[in-house]
Chains A and B, each alone.
Chain A
Amino acid sequence: MASEGKSQRRIVLDRLSVARWGSAVGATALIVAAVALLAGGELSPVVVIAALIGMGGLSLWMTLAPEDFRSTLTGRRAVYGSNSLLIVLLFIGSVLIVYGMAARSGIAADFTSRGYYTLKANIRPIIQQLSRPIQITAFYSRRLLTNQALEAPILRLFSDAAPDKIRLVYADPDAQPILAGQFGLRSAYGIFVSYLDAEGAPDPNFTVKVLTARDRLPDLPVEEDYVNERWIAEAILQLEVRGRFRVLFSVGNGEVNLDNDATGIRDGLRAVGIQVATLDLSREGVPEGTTALIILAPVRDFSQEMADRVAAFLERGGKVLIMAEPAFRSDIRFLQAEDSPLAQYLWRAWGVRPNRDIVFDPLSFNETQYYVRAAQFLEGHPIVQKDQTGSAARPLFPIAQSWQLAAEPPSEVSLKSIYTTSPQAFGKLDLREVARNPDRAIREAADLPGPLALVVAAENQRTGARLLLVGDSDWVTNDLIVAFDGQILWTNMIDWLIGFLERVTVEPAFGQLPLSVPSRDLELTALITVGVLPTAILLLGMWVWWRRARR
């Protein structure tokens, strides 16, 4: 009988069923059109075709079954149904309003025990003492919305801490390429802090890029790139000190050309916001507001007047870095004469003078012995620190002279030899002989015995003046600074002189230690979580099933 009944079933295609199918297809097509319009943001062919199908379907319904259409809109089900729909829609609207208010309020509770999402105590004063209002511009492309969501709580820490001083703006580098270009952004992600100009827009001349994890690990994919609270704070500090540090390079005496041979060190200083300019000491003294004076291997010696100007700057607490080449060429006369005014001042006021030699170190493993790699260093001095582990930078000085330190320096001066050669090194005083046989230097009785001082640091306790002396300048040229820890030594020297990093560095928070447990502990954990716990639940379930089956 059942099979007979099945065989008798027929599909009846009457006006009403066609009309209802038309209404269903039409409604679906209208929904598709709406979704396509919202997703694409334009009247694409898909939107138009779907809308036409939708209108056609509904017209079919209205034409073929006008009674059904009318009763759907006005009947009992329509009345109750629309009431229900209205109630739900009203409720959704109310929830959306509350949600919007909650999102704007930014109320959040940080449950992390280290207060990871609370502004750290050492960062709060930086925000409170901001000299001018700033804008944090955070660029995330559309495919990095997840990264934006993860970093939003950290970025909000800053804007919430000082809403009147810090404005947080999100931007899409793909949708706003001109804006991204103004910040020099070439990728999908980047965060910048800027002072605002007179019109309230970010000032490109006073903008600092927040260094991200990818700046430290270039192989990191952009999707995994991130910033943290400390790095943002350091960028703000860099912005705040921008223009406050002014470093002058002396010119006019045959110094290393900053615009040609040593552009790297000049641009490096500028990149972190240090003002760089030149000064001709034969014309004027060191102006007020100068943080440091750098004398980069002049060829001609300084006159008495120029030496006096250097001395005057040091007397008022100035910081000076002098690099002096040995006289391996006949034209190099800087500090070479016995009566050199600057050399005499250095010996008298600071207890240090050039040995006027050329250093050879047999232990230097480079091609020639006069390419001297620093063999010994003053343990723990900030200038020699290579990284946070405490290991030391080992710079290379091609053709260097050494320095003589007074056995008893002036009472106010603390004098330290930072880098020295090995004890086997020697300083050749007969420079003509060296010039004749540069690759066959043999130690002789007249030579200065090692270890010889290559870098000397001095500090006047009364005035606070600092003096750094290096017996070579080739290591800061563009070709060599990238090799043998040159960049590290340069950065450390500048930092020791002017205290830049301590002004722009925020102490890192203590991080959580990695998991470090023996494998037997992991095995026990696996036994409990994969074995005991699920099995206990399974046995309980089987017991329940068995009891039910017995009933």
Chain B
Amino acid sequence: MRHIGIIFRRELAQYFSSPIAYFVAFAVLLLTGFTFNNDLALRNGRAPVDPALPLIYLAQFSVFFVPLLTMRLLAEENREGTLELLMTLPLQDYQIVLGKFLGAWAYYTLLISLTLVHQVLMLWLNPVDVGVAFAAYIGLWLFGGASIAVGMFFSALNENQIVAAFLGMAALLILWQADLVGNVLNNRALAEFVRSLSFQSNYSYSFAIGIVRFDHTVFFVGVMSVLLLATAQIVQSRRWR
């Protein structure tokens, strides 16, 4: 755990010492702010506010900004050869991967916690269902963890950060849009299976409406575990390739 903690702190500190993370946060908050205010204006006088809505937008934006956060995690170390240096230290490969993952996840957690401002403003404007907001935050947090694991997987596969980011975005976009697979596939059983792998269907129809479902929680934790294991295997492959 101590080794994981050291890598975690190093990664988290790197986010705050680099302007990129701030610029990503700026862009995400600006986009979320626009969609949030647009939604409020549309609902005023017509419909109650939905505390999960800014979080659903944030989940959609995560598809694009999470790979920007994860692209350098292993690709940069690969390209600069510092991964080999790390591997000479008395560290297990999984500890490297887990430490980096937790660092990225902690940054993501801080980022989504900034949207609590939106929730406070909603509470000020109109009584909202705090329970729905709470469940939506739990889901978004797990969603973010799974997205980071996807991004890290592609970062481990490539030395080029841009390629890693692009592949991560493509994979997350497919995983998000897999919800609509029923419109394309003729095979209903396959469509339902593919849909069950969709990030959107595991988030928007449970956490975002106020239910914390055990299977959807297992889904996100499972995606994280599988991809972190695969990423650790990729890192380990450098020892025998």
Interface residues of A (CB under 8 A from B): 38-41, 76-77, 80-81, 84, 87-88, 91-92, 95-96, 98-99, 102-103, 105, 107-114, 116-117, 142-146, 149-150, 152-153, 172, 175, 511-517, 521-522, 525-526, 528-530, 533-534, 537-538, 540-542, 544-545, 548
Contacts and interface: CB of A to CB of B under 8 A. Distances in A.
Interface string B176-199: 000111110111101110010000
Given A113-B129, A153-B206, A534 B29 contact: yes
B95 interface: no
A517 B226 CA distance: 47
B174 interface: no
Contact of A514 (B48, B124, B185): B48
Interface string B32-48: 11101100110111111
Majority secondary structure of chain A interface residues (helix, strand, loop or mixed): helix
B201 A146 contact: yes
Nearest to B236: A84
Interface of B: 16-19, 21-23, 25-26, 29-30, 32-34, 36-37, 40-41, 43-49, 114, 117-118, 121, 124-127, 129-132, 134-135, 179-183, 185-188, 190-192, 195, 201, 205-206, 209-215, 217-219, 222, 225-226, 229-230, 233, 236-237, 240-241
Given A41-B187, A99-B222, A112-B135, 9 more contacts: A88-B233, A110-B211, A111-B131, A113-B132, A145-B179, A146-B205, A514-B43, A525-B37, A534-B33
Contacts of B222: 95-96, 98-99
With most chain A CB atoms within 10 A of its CB, the pick from B46, B181, B210, B237 is B210
With most chain A CB atoms within 10 A of its CB, the pick from B132, B215, B217 is B215
B117 A533 contact: yes
Contacts of A41: 186-187, 190
Nearest to B241: A77
A289 B22 CA distance: 77
A214 B204 CA distance: 23
A146 B211 contact: no
Contacts of A38: 187, 190
B18 to A, nearest CB: 7
Nearest to A518: B44
Contacts of A150: 205, 209
Contacts of B135: 109, 111-112
A146 B21 CA distance: 34
Given A38-B187, A513-B48, A529 B26 contact: no
30 contacts: A39-B186, A77-B240, A91-B229, A98-B218, A99-B215, A99-B218, A107-B215, A111-B134, A111-B211, A112-B129, A112-B132, A112-B135, A112-B210, A113-B131, A153-B213, A512-B129, A513-B126, A515-B44, A516-B45, A517-B125, A526-B33, A526-B37, A530-B34, A530-B37, A537-B29, A538-B22, A540-B22, A541-B21, A542-B19, A545-B19
Contact of B191 (A87, A145, A533, A534): A145
Contacts of A113: 129-132
Nearest to B25: A537
A144 B183 CA distance: 8
Nearest to A540: B22
A92 B226 contact: yes
A530 B19 contact: no
A84 B187 contact: no
Given A77-B241, A516-B126, A533-B114, A522 B213 contact: no
Contacts of B37: 522, 525-526, 529-530
A515 B43 CA distance: 6
Contacts of B22: 537-538, 540-542, 544
Contacts of B126: 513, 515-517
Contacts of A152: 205
A32 to B, nearest CB: 15
B187 A515 contact: no
Contacts of A175: 188
Contacts of B132: 111-113
Interface pairs A-B: 10 shortest CB-CB = A541-B22, A545-B19, A112-B210, A529-B33, A95-B222, A145-B182, A107-B214, A111-B131, A530-B33, A102-B215
A40 B205 contact: no
Given A110-B211, A114-B129, A514-B46, A144 B182 contact: yes
A106 to B, nearest CB: 8
A522 B41 contact: yes
Contacts of A103: 215
A108 B114 CA distance: 27
Contact of B44 (A98, A522, A545): A522
